[in-house]
Structure 1
């Protein structure tokens, strides 16, 4: 089955790695047809193992190879297409739309945090088909109250996010 692993915290805040090296770690861990999409830690691969088995195997391999505490989220092709197809927001050149890949039911925690945060004009969040989406004006992602909440260390093993355009690129490369 085809999967994509979404790595958390890659090439930000001092955790720098080349995607070719990451792909080699995946291949050495038994994955095949391994390739990357962008430099933000989106690794497409094939395996006969389950998502939970893959998460454990790959986090261990990444942690050992790169000497850091790796967190990643593994989704199959249907799941990734669901991220793209469930987007509740209209495309707008002035806004970023992020989709969150997270642990089961964590979208509810994200929504509670969002609801308690101050918001910029046109900043919204919605849960659609059990998936959390965040729309934020371009240039405000890291400065927004919610953006700062997302950077908390105690949340790092719970989710990662990607601009919706990344999901489109992953789908194109998977098909």
Structure 2
């Protein structure tokens, strides 16, 4: 039995609305147990009956296909082993501050994270970015999480299928 976190990209924005109860029902229908949704932004904690390798795309593909079939949108998710999330949060390299938002960018491949950072030169006085183990850490001023250099790059269409970003406050609720 493996505990997972499914991070859905683009849920409850841009006209794609999925109720938490419906999302949990979908995961249960896939045979998952201990299903828990967190907030209304596409976060699902669940247990799968088999012990899959985090790099195994079969589970991810099954969830994406079920989301497409049930809710009729181009669904993309990133799967994170639940037991690795505490280490991801503990590895956040920047000091938190009341006037900043702290984020973690997750990806379905390391190559996507490398591509995200390739040639990126953010102003360190505005935002901070660092590569972590399987993630990218990012901190920016409140109110600018869609307008900074990192935000614009992460929001580019080429990353839509492979990356998703979560605030560290949300991630703590997934533990």
Same fold (TM over 0.5): yes
TM-score, normalising length from structure 2?
Answer: 0.90
Provide the rounded CA distance (Å) in 1 between the counterparts of 2:39 and 2:134. 26
Cα offsets for 1:55-80 (capped at 9, x unmatched): 01101101100001110111112221
Provide the rounded CA distance (Å) in 1 between the counterparts of 2:71 and 2:100. 34
Q: For residues 98 and 65 of structure 1, do their structure 2 counterparts lie closer, same or farther at Cα, with a shift above 3 Å needed?
A: same
Unmatched segments (≥5 aa) in structure 1: none
Corresponding residue to 1:142 among 139, 146, 161: 146
Corresponding residue to 2:73 among 61, 68, 90: 68
- Give the superposition deviation at 1:102: 0.4
Who is 1:110 aligned against? 116
Provide the rounded CA distance (Å) in 1 between the counterparts of 2:144 and 2:119. 17
Who is 1:128 aligned against? 132
TM-score, normalising length from structure 1?
Answer: 0.90
Cα offsets for 1:92-113 (capped at 9, x unmatched): 1111111011022222222225
Structure ranking higher in helix proportion: 1
Q: Number of aligned pairs?
A: 169
Provide the rounded CA distance (Å) in 1 between the counterparts of 2:117 and 2:38. 28
Who is 1:89 aligned against? 94
Corresponding residue to 1:99 among 104, 107, 128: 104
Q: For residues 62 and 99 of structure 1, do their structure 2 counterparts lie closer, same or farther at Cα, with a shift above 3 Å needed?
A: same
Query: Given that residues 127 and 148 in structure 2 are in contact (C-alpha distance below 8 angstroms), is that contact kept between their aligned partners in structure 1?
Result: no
Unmatched segments (≥5 aa) in structure 2: none
Q: Which range is displaced more, 130-139 or 58-67?
A: 130-139
Q: For residues 21 and 113 of structure 1, do their structure 2 counterparts lie closer, same or farther at Cα, with a shift above 3 Å needed?
A: farther
1:161 is the counterpart of 2:165 = yes
Provide the rounded CA distance (Å) in 1 between the counterparts of 2:152 and 2:129. 15
Query: How big is the alpha-carbon RMSD for the aligned residues of Structure 1 and Structure 2?
Result: 1.6
